[in-house]
Amino acid sequence: MEKFRNKFIAFMYGRNGPDKLYRASVAVFMVLAVINIFVHSVILSVISWALFIWTMFRCFSKNVYKRSQENQAYLRLEEKVVKKFGMTKTMLTDKEHCYKKCRHCKAYLRLPKRSGTHTAVCPKCGEKITVKIR
Ligand SMILES: [Zn+2]
């Protein structure tokens, strides 16, 4: 067992190995494979196996620089998605404020929930926004 372990470590030397993108693509592969148990789609099967092969290729690739760039691109995308959904979760759970998007700079304004028509100033760009709260 120890011999096999050492051989594997030697094999993986200089290779990309598992990273965040690897874990995410394995998770997507698993989800697709489970869905395919029920739908039996050839197209879904081809897509999931292509994803699996690409994932393994990335894991064993010796072009670590290129794989690292792919992983960084994935991390930037993940951060955007988490930020977006984090804001949505806050909006859903916060009952004392309402959230309005600035038409000018797309920033979110957190306003106290007082019914009526109000004028707010965007702290980011200074645009005056008329807000109707029910
Ligand atoms: Zn603004």
Spacing, Cα 72 to ligand 1 middle (Å)? 30
- Domain range list for the chain: 1-93, 95-134
DSSP string, the chain: -HHHHHHHHHHHTTS----HHHHHHHHHHHHHHHHHHHH--HHHHHHHHHHHHHHHHHHH-S-HHHHHHHHHHHHHHHHHHHHHHHHHHHHHH-SSEEEEE-TTT--EEEEE--SEEEEEE-TTT--EEEEEE-
Please enumerate in sequence order all residues whose Cβ is within 8 A of that of 67, keeping only pairs 6 or more positions apart, or say none.
16, 19, 58, 61
Spacing, Cα 121 to ligand 1 middle (Å)? 8
pLDDT average, residue stretch 124-129: 93
pLDDT value of residue 1: 80
User: Of residues 118 and 89, which shows the higher confidence score?
Assistant: 118
Spacing, Cα 4 to ligand 1 middle (Å)? 60
Backbone CA torsion sign across 20, 26, 32, 38? negative
Spacing, Cα 101 to ligand 1 middle (Å)? 8
Spacing, Cα 76 to ligand 1 middle (Å)? 24
pLDDT value at 13 more than 90: yes
Q: What is the pLDDT of residues 24-57, one digit of tens each?
A: 999 999 999 999 999 999 999 999 999 999 999 9
Q: What is the pLDDT of residues 55-104, one digit of tens each?
A: 999 999 999 999 999 999 999 998 888 887 777 778 888 889 988 889 99
Backbone CA torsion sign across 112, 117, 119, 123? positive
Q: How far is CA 70 from CA 7, 19, 49, in A?
A: 28, 10, 20
Please enumerate in sequence order all residues whose Cβ is within 8 A of that of 126, keeping only pairs 6 or more positions apart, or say none.
none
Spacing, Cα 35 to ligand 1 middle (Å)? 43
Q: With bands split at pLDDT 50, 70 and 90, how would you rate the model's confidence at 5?
A: very high
pLDDT value of residue 38: 95
Spacing, Cα 97 to ligand 1 middle (Å)? 18
Q: With bands split at pLDDT 50, 70 and 90, how would you rate the model's confidence at 23?
A: very high
What pairs with residue 113 in β-bridges?
A: none
Burial class (CB in 10 A: 0-12, 13-18, 19+), 8: exposed
